[in-house]
Amino acid sequence: MKKLRGRDITDILAINELGAQLTIFRMADVEFIGIQTPVEIAKACPNLIELRLPYLSDGSILEHLPRNLRIFEVAIAAMARTLSLADLFAYSRSERGHQLRTILIHSVSFGSGYPSDADMVAACQPFGLECYKDGHDWEILL
């Protein structure tokens, strides 16, 4: 069976405005997903309360996250144009992002590897966030 690609997902969400009817969106095991695909999914699904995309995203996704979003999962890496931890944490403390309750960070990478526990906790502290590690992934409670 052929796996769906990111573009297939965004095309499906556009059919009869399916994305606007969803409140939960979880995506995993997709053939190919570019950093712009999560942005397109967020735009197509304005009523989500949970968005789980364990993939890298363009930094502009924050402008398009639904206003009622409570749970957000995304991958973070130290790469240009992708969403950064600092931007994500600042968004969670902003007027637009204050409704978030949980951020799930998938495969966080600073430079060439995963951060130490101390590095991740240090990144959370300036924002008053509680961070919990689960394997290579992190759960941040707001």
Q: How far is CA 131 from CA 3, 15, 115, 120, in A?
A: 33, 38, 13, 8
Q: What is the mean pLDDT of residues 101-107?
A: 87
Q: What is the pLDDT of residues 78-103, one digit of tens each?
A: 677 788 888 899 999 999 999 999 99
Distance of CA 71 to the CA centre of its chain: 9
**What is the rounded CA–CA span in Å between residue 103 and residue 138?**
8
The mean pLDDT value for 7-16 works out to 94
Tens digit of pLDDT for each residue in 32-65?
788 899 999 999 999 999 999 888 899 999 999 9
Confidence category of residue 108, pLDDT binned at 50, 70, 90 = low
Banded model confidence at residue 109, pLDDT cuts 50, 70, 90: low
Provide the pLDDT for residue 79.
Answer: 72
What value does the mean pLDDT of the chain take?
Answer: 87
In angstroms, rounded to a whole number, what is the distance separating the alpha carbons of residues 47 and 94? 19
> CA-to-CA distance for 126 and 133, rounded, in angstroms?
18
The angle formed by the CA atoms of residues 53, 59 and 65, to the nearest 5 degrees, is 55
